[in-house]
Amino acid sequence: MKFEVTLNEIPVGNYVGNQEKEFYQKQNDQQRGKDVVIDWEFLDHFNTDNNMWVDANGLDMHKKRLWHRKDYEMKHTDNVAANFYPVTSAIVVKDKNSDKQVTIMTDRAQAGSAGHRSQKNIELMQNRRHNGFDDYGLFSALNDKDSNNRGIQIKATYQMQIFRTNSSESSQRKMQRIIDQPLLVSYSKDFLLGKEYKTISAPQNQTAVQTNNTNNFLGINSFVRQSGLFKTSVYAYGQDEVLVRVQNMQDNFDGKGLNMQFDVDEFAQKFWREAHYK
């Protein structure tokens, strides 16, 4: 499921002064500003058991728990901000009583948390706006404005997948690739109708490699092996040189412990055949 959310200006008071903490804290919530989150609540007796998983720099998924730290004993307070974590590309919750999993993928880095509302929700911070110094971070207000001196409008897109881990596969890494590297459209000024252009297509190879439908560089962008999904990016590095970057798109969190093997020789042979294909 795809959610496109537009958040208009967050209203704040017009106070402009020395931004002292004492004055800032005396304002009411309407004057001071707000932190606005997008909140998804799950029904059917879903229970997060106070657990969530967030990604680190768009790579590994790490388990977090409400009001818990590995290094010290954390006290339960009214400061819910202590349970918000950086979400680079995805946040996940799992049902305590079943194999249901909910994954929400973001199009940018945001703060996120889960389980605050009866252990059955995910919330992501879409925008914050305050008119003074709250003594919790930078010595300036979080008060971004547009050219009309009004609070900025924030648009965000969220992708959600709800599935059963025992019978379905996660689409998190595949969707992350689409979000991080969207289709780019370019135009050529020298295109002429009737002119013949050479089209390069990949040769058929059904032994161990299967090309997908998103090839964009010499017919080689990614390929699926029986041991898992790899993402390969090829860049021109120099004369007669290319740089190949290989990423395992099925990590330990969703990969179910599969043994991932990438055959460099096989990839090089396929790449050479494609480059010399006529």
- What is the tens place of the pLDDT at every residue in 62-91? 999 999 988 888 888 777 888 999 999 999
Q: What is the pLDDT of residue 54?
A: 95
Residue 218, pLDDT above cutoff 80: no
Question: Which tokens belong to 192?
Answer: 């002429």
Domain range annotation of the chain: 2-169, 210-275
CB-side neighbour CA atoms (13 Å) of 104: 27
Could you tell me the pLDDT band of residue 7, with boundaries at 50, 70 and 90?
Answer: very high
Instruction: Provide the 8-state DSSP code for 82.
Output: G
Look at residue 152 and tell me whether its pLDDT is greater than 60.
yes
Q: How confident is the model over 230-273, as pLDDT tens digits?
A: 777 788 777 778 888 887 766 778 766 566 677 888 888 888 88
pLDDT digits (tens, 9 = 90+) for 88-121: 999 999 999 999 999 999 999 999 999 998 999 9
b/e code 186-216 from CB counts within 10 Å (16+ = b): eeeeeeeeeeeeeeeebeeeeeebebeeebe
DSSP 8-state assignment for residue 145: B
Residue 141 has pLDDT above 90, yes or no: no
**pLDDT computed for residue 96 by the predictor:** 95
CATH fit for domain 2-169, picks 2.70.98.30, 3.40.630.30, 3.40.50.10420, 1.10.10.60: 2.70.98.30
Mean pLDDT of 198-219: 39
Longest dimension (CA), the chain: 75
